[in-house]
A and B are shown apart, each in its own frame.
Chain A
Amino acid sequence: MARTLTINNLTKKFGRITAVNNLSLSIEQGQIFGILGPNGSGKTTTLGMILDVVAPTSGDYHWFSNTSNEEARKKIGAILESPSFYPYLTAVQNLKITAHIKKCDPAPIDEVLKQVNLYERRNDKFKTYSLGMKQRLSIAAALLSNPPVLILDEPTNGLDPEGIAEVRDLIVNVARQGKTIIMASHLLDEVQKVCTHFCVLRHGKKIHEGKVKDTLEELNKVEVSADYDHEHLKNLMYDFPGTEALETVDNSLLITLKPGFTASEINSHCFAEGVVLKRLITHTNTLEKEFLKILKDHD
């Protein structure tokens, strides 16, 4: 796998406050990397440094291999918290500036504007847009050069539910094309839904790094219920070879599985015994619980 970004001991101090403290990270091509952390943990400062708009106090970073930073930035689509465009120019005129800086073909401008639903308003000035439209224009700008890397900072901040769903779909679509995505967020649900890898920052320090999948698979609980006598179902589950522990929660049973067993095996076991399950829910660990645990461990 090709290395997309390497960060070595990056530190940023604002006066006496250390916003980012000796951060090292490496991100491989194709990863969807989530940077998690409470507000003020240094996520945006980190993104600012790797985009050369915040000057690091010490440490360094490099993109791809042997690429100058400004050449690398031409290959990165960035969507940061506040969309920045010339208010007196139209969407098309603004995107022409983006294409010029990125040295990419301006031909797909119409296409990307259609993609983010701004085509009808393409010749209106940016200052007449609503916040949602402004954010969609920054998505269009990020997609214009068809970049191999996308950076998102709180991508769903300030969007309505529809907009949030659109951005999430977009991230998943882009990820399917094998692109690398780096996103900062304090919304754990968001990261859990789309990311493959994540790290947790706190007071500018990296306190955890790992795969989202590994973190979520630690728990293996299945909740079942059926329109049968509860005791009957309970006995049935006692007989199931994969049951490690059993407890009753409201009207259903919560089964902890032994390693290697899955929910579908419970289903076929019950079905073979003539019991049709009404509910079968696999409980996974949530990133939220894990995140709170990580933070607590570092208190």
Chain B
Amino acid sequence: MIDAIKLEWLKIKNYRVFWILLGMYLFALTVIASGGVFFLEWLKSQGADFNGIDPTIVPIYDFPDIWQNMTYLGSYAKIFLAFIVIISVNNDVTYNTLRQNIIDGISKKSYLLSKLMFIALLASISTLFLFINGLITGSIYSHVWESRFIFDELEFLFAYFLDIVVYCSLAFLLALVIKKAGFVIVLLFLYSMMFEPILSAILTNAPYFRDTFWSELVAFFPVQSLNNLITVPFGRYVFMEIQDYIPFKTLAIALGLLVIYLWSVISILKRRDLK
């Protein structure tokens, strides 16, 4: 375990591209997750109102709702982390260092473990960063400041961690199958932002598919299944019912996908001839 994480640490410690990407990611995460008030101010300046309510008084940073709100927003930035994982795996493939690592004496399983630890480390950094960010943002904007509210609904932080781990494992698998980093990055971006959402929308809403077996499939899609962990929370501010918990079924699907990704990675590593 320690050896696996140290191997990755030695690879990235002096890799400037990694630190730049990580810095950009944490900056983006801060802006997306904690900048909501500025966004609401902007909405107000544009003359928007929610059924006559002034947008700036919407309590999006009140404990404990803040955790679902921030993890939902922060989840959008995870694609940056996926890029870091893609570059890291792609380096090992194109520089042939995956082969060299194995020749030097690690097993293919240890290689998988070291990348998985790397992903878990990135997810832990993000979760911790978001938690601290939440405490700071909450201390500024929250109308309540009692530990029973502050530490309530922390399961969303766990869901956020899992969300990142599963998504980055998909990135790991794709980077191993498709050896061109640039192509994988564009593909993952387009798939996550366009292809799957469009397909999901068609399957869920088009009359031909609605309420059929096909629309049930959407819950198992790689991106949608993770989005279902933390659903859009903002409906609560216009008195709509929202999913303010993590359903067991969604959790099981996400874990199932993780197992499929990792199993695919190890079977590719075992079968592939590294030359």
State the A residues within 8 Å of B (CB): 14, 48, 51-55, 69-71, 73-74, 76, 78, 80, 82, 84-90, 93, 96-98, 100-103, 141
- 26 A-B pairs with CB atoms under 8 Å apart are A51-B102, A51-B103, A52-B108, A53-B274, A54-B274, A55-B270, A55-B272, A71-B105, A73-B104, A73-B105, A78-B103, A84-B97, A85-B95, A85-B97, A86-B11, A88-B15, A88-B17, A89-B11, A89-B14, A96-B10, A97-B7, A101-B101, A101-B105, A102-B104, A102-B105, A141-B104
Closest chain-A Cβ to B181's Cβ sits at a distance in Å of 14
A residues less than 8 Å from B274 (CB atoms): 48, 53-54
**Are B106 and A70 within 8 A (Cβ)?**
yes
Number of B residues near A (Cβ < 8 Å) is: 31
Tell me the residues in window 63-86 of chain B with beta carbons closer than 8 Å to chain A beta carbons. Answer: none
Tell me whether B143 is interfacial, beta carbon within 8 Å.
no
**B102–A52 CB distance below 8 A:** yes
> Which residues of A have CB within 8 Å of B91?
86
Q: Which residues of B contact A97 (CB under 8 A)?
A: 7, 10-11, 101
Give CA–CA (A55, B133) in the complex, Å: 48
Most B Cβ at <10 Å: residue of A53, A89, A96, A97:
A53
Q: Is B96 located at the chain interface by the 8 A CB criterion?
A: yes
B148 in the interface (beta carbon within 8 A) = no
Are A88 and B14 within 8 A (Cβ)?
yes
CB pair B95–A53 under 8 Å, yes or no, is no
Q: Is the CB of B104 within 8 A of A86?
A: no
A224 to chain B, nearest CB (A): 51
Q: Does B212 interact with chain A (Cβ within 8 Å)? A: no
Q: Chain B's interface: helix, strand, loop or mixed, by majority?
A: helix
Contact of B10 among A69, A74, A84, A100 (CB under 8 A): A100
CA distance A80 to B107 in the complex (A): 19
Count chain A CB atoms within 10 A of each CB in B96, B102, B105, B107 and give the residue with the most.
Answer: B105
State how many angstroms separate the Cβ of B267 from the closest Cβ of chain A.
Answer: 11
Complexed CA–CA distance, A52 and B10 (Å): 23
A70 CB to nearest chain B CB (Å): 4
Report which B residues bind A (CB closer than 8 A): 3, 6-7, 10-11, 13-17, 91, 95-97, 99-108, 110, 270-275
Which of A54, A73, A86 neighbours the largest number of chain B CB atoms within 10 Å of its CB?
A86
CB-defined contacts of B270 to chain A, threshold 8 Å:
55
Contact between B99 and A84 (Cβ–Cβ < 8 Å)? Answer: yes
Instruction: Name which residue of chain B comes closest to A73, CB basis.
Output: B105
Contact A53 B99 (CB under 8 A): yes
Min Cβ gap A97→B in Å is: 5
Q: Is the CB of B104 within 8 A of A74?
A: yes
CB–CB A84/B105 < 8 A: no
Given contacts A70-B110, A86-B91, A100-B10, contact A53 B103 (CB under 8 A): yes
CB contacts (< 8 Å) of A88 on chain B: these are: 14-17
* Cα–Cα distance between A53 and B11 once the two chains are bound (Å): 21
Contact B275 A101, beta carbon cutoff 8 Å = no
Query: How far is it, in angstroms, between the C-alpha of A101 and the C-alpha of B272 when the chains are bound?
Result: 21
Q: Which residues of B contact A74 (CB under 8 A)?
A: 104-105
State in angstroms the CA–CA spacing of A147 and B107 once bound together: 18
**A116–B236 alpha-carbon span in the complex (Å):** 68
In contact, A100 and B6 (Cβ under 8 angstroms): yes
Q: Are A53 and B104 in contact (CB under 8 A)?
A: no
Which among B6, B14, B110, B271 has the highest number of chain A CB atoms within 10 Å?
Answer: B14
